[in-house]
């Protein structure tokens, strides 16, 4: 395989989120030679620049080793990275990548964009429409046929990330604490969180969270419990998820209004662990979206955002 690949033009696509990084390698025909998701994030805002670059290096290196690419060289690459929100972020990441071990293998040129850009390409052939990312964090991005773009949210967990997994997980932990100290009604979230974290009281929950469960990805992982409990009819869990839906809808509506798309048949690409599956959040979101944009169509991409990045590299955008 290695000898054959040496004669092919190679295109690299990387989708780096808060918790996972997907690497895709295409040949010049657009055929997928490699695709894999690694459980390491690439958001330099939360991980720090050094760790984020190291995670990218390790992910791409693992992909290259799997294909036995020695030496490795890509004709073009696109990195869709969470945390790359402004031009200043792009410049910081661009310089860091050029100085990293990846700099030598990106000789054909590379581009760094926000992860929402590659997610939109994953859901649309022309890269036109709206994409809503709701995973660990949240972000909404729109791009029209003229290449004009708008964004709502997506500036990390202090200034935004409403409706994402971290927001849901944190609200769920607080709901459990409020129930345990008598400030709120009973909720099955208590049993679910206790079982997940291996605790049995407010005291042990307190120590577990503050000593071992502080990262964004850890707290965001609790969102799945909230969805499970809400599906069984728990009103506290449903209130948390309804709040999430409202926040996500608000971001989408902001983009729709800026693009004057409320009355258009615009695709809304929904990706991420919170919104990407047919669950309580997705069903409520689709129902509420019809109220403000009845012609909009929610789309689940048939390919990964990593593949979207690789296609952008191949297409030379």
Residue 190 lies in a domain: no
Please list the pLDDT of the chain residue by residue as tens digits (317 residues): 444 555 689 999 999 998 899 999 999 999 999 999 999 999 999 899 999 999 999 999 999 999 888 767 899 999 999 999 999 999 999 999 999 999 988 877 999 999 999 999 999 999 999 999 999 999 999 999 999 999 999 998 899 999 999 999 999 999 999 999 999 999 999 999 999 999 999 999 999 999 999 888 899 999 999 999 999 999 999 999 999 999 999 999 999 999 999 999 999 999 999 999 899 999 999 999 999 999 999 999 999 999 999 999 999 95
Helix 223-231 to helix 189-197 angle (10° resolution) is: 140
Kindly give the residue spans of alpha helices, DSSP state H, lying in the chain.
Answer: 2-5, 44-47, 49-66, 87-99, 115-123, 156-159, 165-180, 189-197, 202-212, 216-220, 223-231, 235-259, 280-292, 305-315
Residue 252 lies in a domain: no
Residue 163 lies in a domain: no
Structural domains counted in the chain: 1
C-alpha distances (whole Å) from 34 to each of 1, 30, 105, 283 are: 12, 11, 17, 33
Angle ∠(214,139,308) on CA atoms, nearest 5: 110
**Token pair recorded at residue 300:** 């689940």
Residue 14 lies in a domain: yes
Residue 136 lies in a domain: no
pTM over 0.75: yes
CATH, residue 38? 3.30.420.40
Residue 231 lies in a domain: no
Instruction: Note the maximum CA span of the chain.
Output: 68
How much is the pLDDT for 6? 55
How much is the pLDDT for 107? 76
Burial class (CB in 10 A: 0-12, 13-18, 19+), 214: exposed
Report the DSSP beta bridge partners of residue 315: none
The SS3 assignment for 18 reads: coil
Residue 75 lies in a domain: yes
How much is the pLDDT for 108? 75
Rounded Cα distance, 1 and 28, in Å = 16
Residue 205 lies in a domain: no
How much is the pLDDT for 270? 97
How much is the pLDDT for 5? 53
User: Which structural domain range is residue 33 located in?
Assistant: 2-124+303-315
């Amino acid at each position: 395989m290695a000898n054959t690949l040496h004669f092919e033009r190679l295109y690299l696509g990387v989708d780096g989120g808060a918790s996972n990084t997907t690497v895709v390698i295409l040949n010049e025909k657009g055929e997928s030679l490699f695709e894999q998701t690694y459980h390491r994030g690439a958001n330099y805002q939360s991980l720090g620049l050094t760790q984020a670059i190291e995670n990218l290096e390790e992910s791409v290196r693992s992909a290259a080793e799997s294909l036995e690419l020695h030496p490795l060289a890509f004709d073009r690459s696109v990195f869709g990275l969470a945390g790359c929100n402004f031009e200043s972020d792009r410049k910081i990441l661009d310089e860091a990548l050029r100085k990293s071990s990846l700099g030598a293998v990106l000789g054909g040129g590379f581009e760094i964009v926000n992860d929402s850009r590659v997610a939109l390409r994953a859901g649309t052939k022309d890269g036109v429409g709206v994409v809503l990312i709701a995973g660990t964090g949240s972000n909404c991005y729109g791009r029209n046929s003229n290449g004009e773009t708008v964004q709502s949210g997506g500036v990390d967990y202090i200034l935004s990330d409403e409706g994402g997994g971290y927001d849901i997980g944190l609200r769920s932990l607080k709901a459990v604490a409020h129930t345990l100290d008598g400030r709120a009604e009973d909720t099955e979230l208590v049993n679910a969180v206790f079982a997940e974290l291996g605790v049995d009281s407010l005291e042990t929950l307190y120590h577990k969270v503050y000593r071992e469960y502080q990262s964004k990805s850890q707290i965001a992982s609790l969102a799945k419990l909230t969805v499970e409990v809400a599906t069984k009819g728990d009103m506290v869990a449903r209130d948390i998820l309804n709040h999430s839906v409202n926040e996500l809808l608000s971001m989408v509506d902001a983009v729709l209004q800026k693009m004057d798309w409320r009355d258009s048949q615009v695709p809304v690409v929904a990706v991420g662990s919170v919104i990407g599956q047919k669950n309580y959040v997705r069903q409520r979101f689709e129902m509420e979206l019809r109220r403000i944009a009845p012609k909009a169509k929610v789309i689940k991409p048939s390919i990964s955002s990593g593949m979207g990045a690789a296609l952008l590299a191949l297409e030379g955008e």
